[in-house]
Amino acid sequence: MNRLMNMGISIHAFKTALLSVVFLGVFLDILPISASASTIYGVDDKQAVYSIDSDTSVATEIYAGQNKGSYTIAHCPDGMLYFTDIFAGANPINLYRFNPATPATPPVSLGTLPEMTRAACHPTTGMLYFMRGSPNDIYQVVPGPSSFTMTQTTLTLPATTPPGIGGGDIAFHPNGTLYLLDTVGNYAPPTRLWIINLSTNQIENVGAVTGLPGISLVHGFAFDTSGNIRIAFDSNDPVRVLYTMPIGGGAVTPIASGNPLGVYMKDLASHVAPPAQTLITLVKASSVFSDPVNGTTTPKRISGAVITYSIVTTNSGQGSVDNNEIILTDPIPADTDFIVNDFEGAGSGPIAFINGSPSSGLTYTLSNATFFSDTACTNAIPLGIPDINGVNATIRCIRVNPQGVFVADDATPPSPNFTISFRARIR
């Protein structure tokens, strides 16, 4: 949970939310939103690159290749694909960058590196990770416009049944966890799923893998948009399709039939974009509603004056806020008392809720408000009965929890919004 403090302002939001704030003393709590879609890519033994429908296994060639072959391909958050050559005698092993959005433009070599057989790109940082045939080391690569930097980290393997040498692949789950699909023996079909813990540099056993056809080797391993595993074999697969399996290991099953891939994939790559984010803006304003001398005609901020506070909350991001999970909390200013009389018509309660245009998609009734006797909003109390001035001086904080999903912006101004209003009396 992120927390922003500024002039007594506190905002609470999960890290998938962005917030822009122009207000005084208002708290906002929101919960996460949903993840957006990804594309799976594959590379074959000619270094041709394919886009692959992760639900049907249908592959479409987008780059014809350099007839060099490759065991690695990775898709990064900037949209770029990165892949390497297969070792070929004295020929150098190049790291290439390729933009699938402009497939007619050839890949750019960023320099040479040792032969790699596994690759993945972190879904938010854009850091490239490579492994060689041995599972003992992992290489972190930071690509630049025309070159790259690389560091090598030694991994701690399990004491029993460690990963073997040979095929397999690595892939990032959308949540940033790096998985390894590999065998417990050398140069054999994968039989186990692992996690590479990048905080501890340890390889952790997840579960066994069963149901792989024949002696097929796997170099293709990726995740689909929902975080489900996708697997492709680089040889000996009679149906040439994508396979899936549970995230905790288990049986591998095909997701289609009839040779939709058309070729054997030497590697797969997927990138799940960061979740479509909310961009919440809160603007709190106040105006004098009345005073005991002037009434409602050019009233002044004097003792006994009634102040109207309004909080406009806008979502200008392309992510929605989860159902019933937006909460605004506002302490009552120290020199004022909360007015508990109806804000509008009889029975409306002391808080007004108005949907903007376009609507926020939220609804509100008095039952969605909570009142507190402390400015920290921890000791809930009843609304109570107004005194002669229409206030309940024991209420020192209010919390409003509108119901429903705060809808996403459609990128066409204005953005969805709503306004909360209430009144307080200056002492």
pLDDT reported for residue 13: 35
pLDDT reported for residue 69: 79
Percent share of the chain, pLDDT over 70: 85
State the pLDDT confidence band at 38, using cuts at 50, 70 and 90: low
Domains and CATH numbers, the chain: 2-34+276-426 (2.60.40), 38-272 (2.115.10.10)
pLDDT reported for residue 9: 28
Query: Does the pTM exceed 0.75?
Result: no
pLDDT reported for residue 394: 96
Secondary structure of the chain in HEC code, one letter for each residue: CEEEEECCEEEEECCCEEEEEECCCCEEEECCCCCCCEEEEEECCCCCEEEECCCCCCEEEEECCCCCCCCCEEECCCCCEEEECCCECCECCEEEEECCCCCCCCCEEEEECCCCCEEEECCCCCCEEEECCCCCEEEEEEECCCCEEEEEEECECCCCCCCCCCCCEEEECCCCCEEEEECCCCCCCCCEEEEEECCCCEEEEEEEEECCCCCCCEEEEEECCCCCEEEEECCCCCCCCCEECCCCCEECEECCCCCCCCCCCCEEEEEECCCCCEEEEEEEEEEEEEECCCECCCCCCCCCCEEEEEEEEEECCCCCECCCCEEEEEECCCCEEEECCCCCCCCCCCCEEEECCCECCCECCHHHEEEECCCCCCCEECCCCCCCCCEECCCCEEEECCECCECCCCCCCCCCEEEEEEEEEEC
pLDDT reported for residue 91: 65
Give pLDDT tens digits for 223-271.
987 788 998 887 777 788 898 888 888 888 888 888 888 888 889 998 6
What mean pLDDT comes out for the span 361-367?
95
What mean pLDDT comes out for the span 215-223?
78
pLDDT reported for residue 259: 86
